[in-house]
Amino acid sequence: MGDKQKVGWVGLGKMGTPMAKNVIRAGYPLTVFNRTISKTEELAGQGAKVVDSPKSLAKDVDLIVSMVSDDKAMEAVSLGPEGIFEGAKSGAIFIEMSTVSVMASIRVAEAANKKGIKYIRAPVTGGVNQAEAGTLGILASGPKDAYEQCRDIFNTIGKTFFYLGPGEEGRIMKLVLNMQVGIISAMTAEALTFGEAGGLDWNQMIDIISSSIVATPMISFRSPLLKKKNFPVGFTATQMAKDFDIILDTGKTMNTPLPVTSVVRQFLGIMKDRGKGGNDFWELLTLLEELAGLK
What are 153-187's pLDDT values in tens digits? Answer: 999 999 999 999 999 999 999 999 999 999 999 99
Quick one: pLDDT band at residue 3, thresholds 50, 70, 90?
confident
Residue 257: what residue type?
P
Amino acid, single-letter form, for residue 64: I
Strand partners, 231: none
Domain residues for the domain of 224 are: 172-291
| Residue 159 and residue 188 in one domain | no
Instruction: Say if 125 falls within a structural domain.
Output: yes
Domain boundary, last residue among 166, 188, 205: 166
Residue 4: predicted pLDDT? 86
Q: Which of 109, 135, 166 is the last residue of a domain?
A: 166
Give the count of domains, the chain. Answer: 2
Boundary of a domain, candidates 115, 134, 166? 166
C-alpha 222: how far from chain center: 19
Say whether both 281 and 180 belong to one domain: yes
In a shared domain, residues 148 and 227: no
Q: Which helix or strand (DSSP H or E) is residue 63 part of?
A: strand 63-66
DSSP string over 117-138? -EEEE--EES-HHHHHHT-EEE
- Written as one letter, the residue type at 130 is Q
**Do 111 and 186 lie in a common domain?**
no
Q: Can you give the CATH number for the domain in which 11 is found?
A: 3.40.50.720
Residue 126 shares a structural domain with residue 176 = no
**What is the Cα–Cα distance from 195 to 206, expressed in whole angstroms?**
10
Q: Tens digit of pLDDT for each residue in 94-147?
A: 999 999 999 999 999 999 999 999 999 999 999 999 999 999 999 999 999 999
Q: How far apart are CA 160 and CA 130, in angstroms?
A: 11
Tens of pLDDT, residue by residue over 249-281, are 999 999 999 999 999 999 999 999 999 999 999
- The reply to whether 161 and 177 lie within a common domain is no
pTM (predicted TM-score): 0.93
* One domain for residues 158 and 33: yes
Q: Is the pLDDT of residue 2 over 90?
A: no
Phi and psi angles of residue 286, each rounded to the nearest 5 degrees, phi first: -60, -40
Are residues 141 and 19 located together in one domain of the fold?
yes
